[in-house]
Structure 1
Amino acid sequence: MPQPTITELNEHDAIRKVLETDIESYLARDRGTWLTCWIDDTRFRSVMECGTMQIARSFDEFCRNVFEAMDAEPDPVQANVRIDNLEIQISDGLAWATYEEIVTSASNPRATPSHSHNFRLLERRNGEWRILFHGCWAEPLRDTEDPALEVAVDGRVLWMNDAADMELKNFGGLALSNGKLRASKPSWNAELYNAISGAHNLTAFGNYNRAKSAGGGEVKYPVVLGENEDGGLMLCWVKVSDARVYILFGQGSDLSKQIDVVQAIFALSKAQTDIVRLIAKGMELSEAAKVLGVTKNTARTHLRRVFEKIGVNSQIELLRLIIGFST
């Protein structure tokens, strides 16, 4: 591959400067400087996917969206900005730029970085590069404050937020060993790794869309690792997002629709259903009894009657049956 010329290097530096100025002036709420990065033109378009799709078909519409966001939080945002994996191609006065943008809070170093994938089409006008097309695809899970970690197909942890680091110290079902996520009991590893491997099979575009359509939304499913010594279920969730596989914690409430179906099919009473909901959240029987304001023996009686109605013999069997019901 031929080495870039001095002129090309200078052009690349100028384009990088525009990209950096765009985000830095936005965070500073400096509208005047921000506007110098863009072209007001009938060809202008913006496509953003940041949890919800937002399309602006004119520069005026794009400005309204941006200024509304600034007005919602008018104080300047103290943050560090990093542009990674920047690729630039220049031809006939147009430049294509792709890169990853990582914004880290300067005031709160423990805050999870904002991570997005970006495409910009720039045009050279009056000797200056300006942005004509804006594309941004965020990774919402990288921004979550809930415990989350990303795993490779073999279980290696590729990324983890501080909340997940803390959760692993308290969660009895999973642990890190030499950079790899493992179940706390070897007998639970097969369940965990099968789930991770299956999730990685869904990261391809076609497979992901089919799974999303079949599931009615998110591609996420629970993994029942086993029971702890006190009878509580060890439960985590595997989620496919941004062509990556994540492990989440504390998502038991997402089984509420399936539990509604089970309640209707097996004619569970309200008390029995309440116990099932709390068990599905990973609570031990004593914890569930305390939440419901009943004795542990009463809670055990409710759970035993659930087993009898449904035809299962353990909490693990119960939860796996619930998971099997589509919504």
Structure 2
Amino acid sequence: MSEEDDRAEILALIHANRIGIWTKNYELWSSCFVHAPYITRWGYNVQGGPFVRRSWDELARRAVSVFAGGGEMPYDANFAHNTTVENLTLRIYGDMAWAAFDQQYPQSGHPGFRGSGLTHELRVFERHEGRWKIAVLGHMGNDGFHDGAAILELDAEGTIHWASAEALRRLEDDDDLVIRNGRLRVRDAACQRRLTAALAWAANVDSGYNSGRGSLPIVQGAGEGLPTRVWWVQVEGGVIYFLMDGQGLTEARLDVAAAIYGLSAGQRRLAGLVADGQSLPDAAREMGISANTAKTHLQRIYDKTGVHTQPALVRVLLSVGMPL
């Protein structure tokens, strides 16, 4: 068999492995692997973090739920047949070979698969009885945001590489955010400077030998007692995201800040409502307290945190570092 034939067979094997898993074809999927104790599948995804699977028996056992029609990986002929292999590096040495490549999946409506659809892949192959098989499978994917997430994937300059349908819908009527020449911009000059600094920070997080992760809030205040807007810049696996509604990040940071600054339950709730964009009168109504009581809560939060305006308060509370 020529090297050209080997390359064609290995590329077909890469596609067959993906087609088998997404079309629930166990025989096809199983035929792609070496059935031996030493085979390994490792990877990372946003939903579950890093994982390692060792031996064919473990891999096959864990795949049972997938092929039984469970919701973990729903049937998807589009994923199976319309995903492209890009940036392929393939090296063949006798009866062993390895490949590093990207897979670009189509946009999908499946719960748990929200993002640009780009994954990074590694394979080690062995030839058994004249046929190439997978001995090691590595996978890294960043998709996994919840349904309806308003999120954009940016570079360090703010250029938009991908945006969710919800983000595009909201941007059409957004008074504060705008797309100019393909880049995300904040109309408020001070907030734009914060966004520029946050993107530079995010790009630097991934500048070293090892990658990093983290998130920074972008807080825009309309004035004392008026609604405050919070956006998040998040970096994960070298990818920069702009979250228009990072409620989970906001709540987690507020919980830590409440513990650090000694906020009471009422003060913590008021801080959460203010950070969620409610005006002080609206927050008071939601809490079932008078406007004066809300003002008293707010003043005590100011005393504990050392700030004197709502925008500054939100920035301080959301800038508290998360425990590892």
Per the TM superposition, whether the score is higher than 0.5 is: yes
Structure 1 Cα separation of the partners of residues 200 and 108 of structure 2 = 37
Is contact 1:88-1:95 (8 Å) kept? yes
Question: Residue in 1 aligned with 2:236?
Answer: 241
Question: Residue in 1 aligned with 2:42?
Answer: 47
Question: Residue in 2 aligned with 1:213?
Answer: none
Q: 1:320 to 1:145 in 2, by over 3 A?
A: same
Structure 2 Cα separation of the partners of residues 120 and 143 of structure 1 = 29
Question: Residue in 1 aligned with 2:32?
Answer: 37
Is contact 2:91-2:97 (8 Å) kept? yes
Cα deviation 1:237-294 (Å, max 9, x = unaligned): 1111121211112224434455445545655443333211111223233442343234
Query: Are residues 1:26 and 2:21 paired?
Result: yes
Q: 1:195 to 1:115 in 2, by over 3 A?
A: same
Is contact 1:113-1:143 (8 Å) kept? no
Is contact 1:252-1:282 (8 Å) kept? no
Is contact 2:83-2:104 (8 Å) kept? yes
Structure 1 Cα separation of the partners of residues 242 and 66 of structure 2 = 31
Query: Are residues 1:86 and 2:88 paired?
Result: yes
Query: Are residues 1:196 and 2:199 paired?
Result: yes
Question: Residue in 2 aligned with 1:149?
Answer: 152
Question: Residue in 2 aligned with 1:104?
Answer: 106
AA partner of residue 28 (structure 2): T
Taking structure 2 as the reference length, what is the TM-score of the superposition?
0.84
Q: Identify the range of structure 1 (69-78 vs 197-206) with the bigger mean alpha-carbon deviation.
A: 69-78
AA partner of residue 269 (structure 2): D
AA partner of residue 163 (structure 1): E
Query: Are residues 1:177 and 2:180 paired?
Result: yes
Question: Residue in 2 aligned with 1:212?
Answer: none
Structure 1 Cα separation of the partners of residues 205 and 107 of structure 2 = 32
Query: Are residues 1:288 and 2:283 paired?
Result: yes
SS of equivalent to 2:2: helix
Q: 1:315 to 1:19 in 2, by over 3 A?
A: same
Shift of 1:70: 2.6
Cα deviation 1:48-69 (Å, max 9, x = unaligned): 2223222122111111122233
Is contact 1:230-1:284 (8 Å) kept? yes
Question: Residue in 2 aligned with 1:215?
Answer: none
Structure 2 Cα separation of the partners of residues 54 and 315 of structure 1 = 42
Cα deviation 1:157-178 (Å, max 9, x = unaligned): 1222212212323544322111
Structure 2 Cα separation of the partners of residues 178 and 226 of structure 1 = 26
AA partner of residue 201 (structure 1): N
Q: Identify the range of structure 1 (229-238 vs 121-130) with the bigger mean alpha-carbon deviation.
A: 229-238
Indicate which of 218, 225, 229 corresponds to 2:220: 225
Structure 2 Cα separation of the partners of residues 303 and 157 of structure 1 = 37
Query: Are residues 1:319 and 2:314 paired?
Result: yes
Shift of 1:10: 2.8
Structure 2 Cα separation of the partners of residues 254 and 111 of structure 1 = 18
Structure 1 Cα separation of the partners of residues 265 and 109 of structure 2 = 47
Unpaired runs of 5+ residues, structure 2, are: none
Q: 1:267 to 1:92 in 2, by over 3 A?
A: closer
SS of equivalent to 1:69: helix
Give percent identity, aligned residues only.
Answer: 25
Indicate which of 10, 19, 34 corresponds to 1:15: 10
Structure 1 Cα separation of the partners of residues 114 and 243 of structure 2 = 18
Is contact 2:24-2:66 (8 Å) kept? no
Q: 1:111 to 1:270 in 2, by over 3 A?
A: closer
